[in-house]
Structure 1
Amino acid sequence: MADLDPADQIKELSATLESVESVLDLDAKRTEIEQLREQSADPELWSDQDNAQKVTRRLSYLESEVTKVEGIRRRLDDLGVLFELAAAEDDADTLTEAQDELTALRKDIGDLEVRTLLSGPYDEREALVSINAQAGGVDAADWAQMLQRMYLRWAERHGYPTEIYETSYAEEAGIKSTTFAVRAPFAYGTLRGEHGTHRLVRISPFDNQSRRQTSFAGVDVVPVVEQSDHIDIDESELRIDVYRSSGPGGQGVNTTDSAVRITHLPTGIVVSCQNERSQLQNRATAMSVLQAKLLERKRQEERAEIDELRGEGASSWGTQMRNYVLHPYQNVKDVRTNVETGNTGAVLDGEIDEFIDAEIRWMRNQERAAE
């Protein structure tokens, strides 16, 4: 495309943006924004805190999405004028500015186009992310904590609120496990490709002989359940333990046994919550996490049955999916999409959008092939 005339490139980008605008249905979003603004202005809304927060989060998200698309459309309209100005005045600086803006717009429109691929039944939901240290001892626990930071920094970069439900700290360093929510529409559809095993290769900071160590951590991403979801949970199939919340080094967070751990005996799924002061609140939150995990399990079982009826092998994304190598060279590579970068520091600081966008495209292609 780089050898095309700028006017032709702008025309192609405009056609792509029109397609994106059509799929996103901006008029419907503007109508919903007006309805949500009316709801948020009603003082009675805040009598139900959970619903009020849901309304305000949805309103903020829609306003951001519409503003983003409208801004890109204005920039694209202005770009043609900028190229004309550069040509009329034979101004090299203005031409460079216009070419840089063209490159930036191509990326921004491409990012919007990826969003239109999120059409799964739960893609619009918020996400629950669980990380567990796997093989690798103390290095694996440290790696799990590094991954937690990576995702929290990614959410922070995008302005997505997060809520940590539970963190189980390892004895020497790092964490055994953690569960947190990403409170943004389409967080599940965006992050579900991160599900799987993440492998780290580095010189271990915990080895006094400075040997290279390979460690693994598992990432699980499920959609947050809503009231319309129905998952039957038999109380007799639950083991509920209460314990005292704690932080790194065993430092007390609470002075009462308010943390709750729930084990679903038939499946072996274990969930915990310790972020609330009340045992009752922690239990309710833990139950919602359990429902989310059971809902995802049910969805996977249904998909496996369909694959079996089709005579296809069940495809799983829950395998090794990304390698992070810090020694003897610097490289992060996704084993499915082959996207890679040598800027490992940026990736571990939350700059993972390139990987996520490629995952979304890859998963959509896999789903189309199966249809």
Structure 2
Amino acid sequence: MKAATWTGVNEVSVEEVPEPQLLNDHDVILKVTQSVTCGSDLHLLGGYIPFMRAGDVLGHEFIGEIVEVGSAVRHRKVGDRVVGAPFAACGNCWYCEQEQYSLCDNGNANPGITEGLWGQSPGGCLGYSHAMGGYAGSHAEYIRVPYADVGTFVVPEGISDTRALFASDAASTGWMGADLAGTEPGDVVAVWGAGGVGQMAARAAMLLGAEQVVVVDRFAERLQQVREHVGAETIDYSSTDVLAELRERTGGRGPDVCIEAVGMEAHSSGAAGVYDQVKQQLRLQTDRPTALREAVMACRKGGSIFTLGVFAAMVDKFPLGALMNKGITLRGAQVHAQRYIPELLERMERGELTTEHLATHVLPLSEAPRGYQMFKDKEDGCVRAVFTPGG
């Protein structure tokens, strides 16, 4: 079958790879109808997560049709149209029982790498390096989905493939950030990053009752999407002082909730951005925490911050003093998609949550290298590139 594979730093190639097989009785094989790029994939492409091997299949956000089921699968059948969760989660361990699915004790087949990096291993993520389980990804004609009764969700007939596709990761990640940050009715919420996850975090905050939601970015087309499709306010950080702007918009107090949806390759036009770039390229730090630093400084005293952007290891010049002395709560997580997808599908069916506008470029799988290049370089207003393996 054809699949989009990682073949080196900043290199994607569509290659012929073996079709997936059932390896466990709880697996299903999915015929992929749509699979979409994610900002976290760019960290793999850029070589910032050094556990990729040439030929690894990329992708972890997808929708498709079940074509084969394992003998122990009880709640899915051949022909079901399903959206898949990015993280493999068994559903039975202590973490899954707490609905912390991306921390599943049984989802990562290679726990030693991340135990060495972080002290303990999270679960395994499809298409996201051998540190996260070594699973083949979804930018392919077919994908094996482990723990299918837990990690796949039947899509109601009234929801289009493209809308449901983003429930897999972008919408569920964004919703998790707004939820676990403790967003309450009447809150002021600031979101750093107007990509797919940032937009979905902003929309989630609004649906959870936030009185005011502000999204920070520099790309005009993404900020326009926020205003038009999400209904939130925007700040272009390249043309104003974000901290001063947020103080003014919040009566001098600062946002109650700050959501960081940028991650380890955050951009900054100031001296701090140059500093971070140099340190990262020299491997003196692994991550650029520009947006997270700004969120700490902007957040009101006693407020909360949730980081959704992917970070790998170490950052420099982190304002820990501000975090501690302002009494801020800082949380973060990989997506617990299984916890949120059912509710998101319901809201999508009711029209409360729309995502089609994120799919700015829909391409056949054969054009995956071009799709990733546009996505990485923000060419032609690309917010997300969606691949159709059958196209």
Normalised to the residue count of structure 2, the TM-score between the two structures is: 0.26
Question: TM-score, normalising length from structure 1?
Answer: 0.27
Q: Which has the higher contact order (CA 8 A, sep 6+)?
A: 2
Higher-Rg structure is 1
